[in-house]
Structure 1
């Protein structure tokens, strides 16, 4: 079998285990069905997720010009505390930024090899946590917009990580339940006074089951350095394809790349 198209992040369904679908130009390939099969991935070009042109991907699936111009790649995507749409102030495109920022958000704790704090739109639950490779996740605040969630995160990340260490996430084999509720209680004192009304207790703690086994070693590769790669697919965690020999490919890190995918029968 052979497929071709532009890589977008994998679509996921929270099941036992999580089901993964590789998105190639809108065609969804059920990756769980390919475990144990030899795959060849060949990089053939680029297609910016914004302008659609065959231009080198700069970051987040965008070519360089789109990365610095598109509202979907603005600073507030990475740093929600910089959001200004609630003030009627636009950064790149106020109408688009209103759609992104002026909706309910959740501040959460997640275990991805370490406990971290993060922010997500409510519509991205639980997708956001699965994409990060979180084993457990717990909402700790529910806000009305992105700015409020960002300000809470800024206060809490003085005491917790706010980034996922991909190596720890992939090498972690924690099978017991992490007590995120205990972590929530410990950081309660650091919750900013001006945003206390958004604090949330008694939330459900989420647990995720990935089609993945801890490898003996972890090494990532990119299609920039290895434009053609052949190996047996063993599993998936987060947005990482796990191949034999402990080799990993970050699918989300390759958004906008055009590939040929060949599955050996």
Structure 2
């Protein structure tokens, strides 16, 4: 762009030096004060300058097409991101539309440049026409500068968006790491609680077994004591006498007294 601006500025400086207008492929006017060879050289320089301008515009167009291809590749990469980043393709589409609009604007500017070339070709008709054409060129250059400024702002905004996407990816990665770590801690706690409950259950079972064993041992001991008491008095039989209803208070069993 800077090279194009310098070339156009050099052409304007050359055109404003006060030389007589030169007609290119339209009319030919004999000028006794200027040789024919110098006119042909000026025409060749003018054609060469316009050719360089067209080549520069074509290189700009190629660069914009490459940017459009890169935007499409970026959209393909963004399509595989998680659901949290689904809003990013919409933003990329908006940026792609903006780049497409800039591309269309540059196409219009290319058409305007072609019209400008035709207008510059008609500068040789008269000095008044040349002045009006130079004014039109200045306006187009102002618009081109504004377009380049907008393009730079759009690229800067795209870079900012990509930076935000990178930060969002980092935050998502950190969040996932925190979730995984919390899950691991919870699993360890559950494992410890399960082991503690297993130990408590084991202790309860052992305690129940000990109590049951003690109860059985006590029951066996009591049975042994009772059997010993019975075996010590084998010939004594307890006789039961049915008392009268009025003698319930004086009832005593027959036989020797029971051991205490």
| Normalised-by-shorter TM-score class | under 0.3
Bigger CA radius of gyration = 2
Which structure has more helix as a fraction of its residues? 2
Which structure has more strand as a fraction of its residues? 1
Please give the TM-score of this superposition, normalised by the length of structure 2.
Answer: 0.22
Higher relative contact order (CA 8 A, sep 6+): 1
Please give the TM-score of this superposition, normalised by the length of structure 1.
Answer: 0.22
